[in-house]
Amino acid sequence: MFPALKYLARVAISILLAAFCGCANQAVVNTQRHFDFQKDTFSYANELVWEYHFEANGKWTSSRREPAPAYSHHCFVVARSVRQFFLNASFAADRPIVDEPTYRKLVSQVVSSNPRHPLPEGEKIVIPGYRDLRAFSQAQPTLLQQECGGAWQSYFQRGHWRMIWPFSRRHQRDTADAILTRLANLEPVVIHLARFPQLTINHAMVIFDARETPEQIRFTTYDPNHPLEPVTITFDRATRTFTLPTNDYFPGGRVDIYQIYHRWNY
């Protein structure tokens, strides 16, 4: 295909996909409280299938984890569910613990709720017997893992098409600004991190706080792979680039980011 035709085809496909996925000017969700890492996240991890490390020559390499993890490939499911519980559920520790079928029904209602449109306060799904999501997931990890969604939902999240198109530095600057706007309204922001066509990272996280300086923005983030403490994603204002530090699944460096599970976007 000639370059001009390839460009026009690419633009046409982008427009059709954007229309199909409901992209438009972003609306802001106003919430009533701050996201609390120790209360509003799951206690268990989305486990790694592979073990990663640097070799002596500096090459980033991997090997299959043994034994195989019991719960993996659920990062998008975990990140989406965290947002749904924050926006659409409330916990009532003063009420008695109920039976398993009841909890399964309640969790199903939460994860069936729209992650883009929060329920009014009087319509939130009440989870009895526990003070918050972290306590609930400590007591009922298997139930939550089974009811929040299968790994296939991480592979078929509808916004994945955006990953294949270029990320301009302007887009990344606008993304950082949009995230700050949402955080100012106390809204947790679910993001997709990628380096397409490289396969070094394809992951979902939840940004819930930020600290700004003239040079950078340090976004405080819940990583489904690391439930014990937040991680920091840094946005450099000069280069208009997001970076993620080295960890047990990523060698560190630049990541491209876009928002998902929000009103009027992917």
pLDDT score recorded for residue 12: 38
As given in the structure block, the two tokens for residue 218 are 């340090």
**Is 216 exposed, middle or buried (CB count within 10 Å of its CB: 0-12, 13-18, 19+)?**
middle
Enumerate the domain spans of the chain.
50-155, 158-260
How remote is the C-alpha of 158 from its chain's centroid? Answer: 14
pTM: 0.83
Which pLDDT tens digits describe the chain residue by residue (266 residues)? 333 333 333 433 443 343 333 333 344 565 678 999 999 999 999 988 666 656 567 666 666 777 878 899 999 999 999 999 999 999 999 999 999 999 999 999 999 999 988 999 899 999 999 999 999 999 999 999 999 998 555 555 555 545 566 789 999 999 999 999 999 999 999 999 998 766 667 899 999 999 999 999 999 999 999 999 999 999 999 999 999 999 988 888 999 999 998 765 55
What pLDDT was estimated at residue 159? Answer: 55
For 209, other C-beta atoms within 10 Å of its C-beta total 16
Report the Cα 74 to chain-centroid distance in Å: 10
pLDDT at 143: 98
**Spatial distance between the Cα atoms of 222 and 15, rounded to a whole number of angstroms:** 32
Within its chain, how far is the Cα of 37 from the centroid? 14
For residues 245 and 254, what is the distance between their CA atoms, to the nearest angstrom?
9
CA 53 to chain centroid: 24
Q: Could you list the beta-strand ranges (E) of the chain.
A: 50-54, 60-64, 89-92, 125-128, 189-194, 202-212, 216-223, 226-236, 241-244, 253-260
SS3 at position 236 = strand
Q: How far is CA 202 from CA 40, 150, 156, in A?
A: 23, 17, 13
Distance, in Å, from the CA atom of 265 to the CA atom of 257, rounded to the nearest integer, reads: 13
Quick check: 16 and 259 in contact, CB under 8 A? Answer: no
Beta 253-260 vs 241-244: how paired, if at all?
Answer: antiparallel
Query: 238, exposed or middle or buried, with CB in 10 Å at 0-12, 13-18, 19+?
Result: exposed
- For residues 244 and 250, the answer to whether their CB atoms sit within 8 Å is yes
Tokens 């409901």, residue located: 22
Q: How far is CA 253 from CA 36, 194, 247, in A?
A: 27, 11, 11
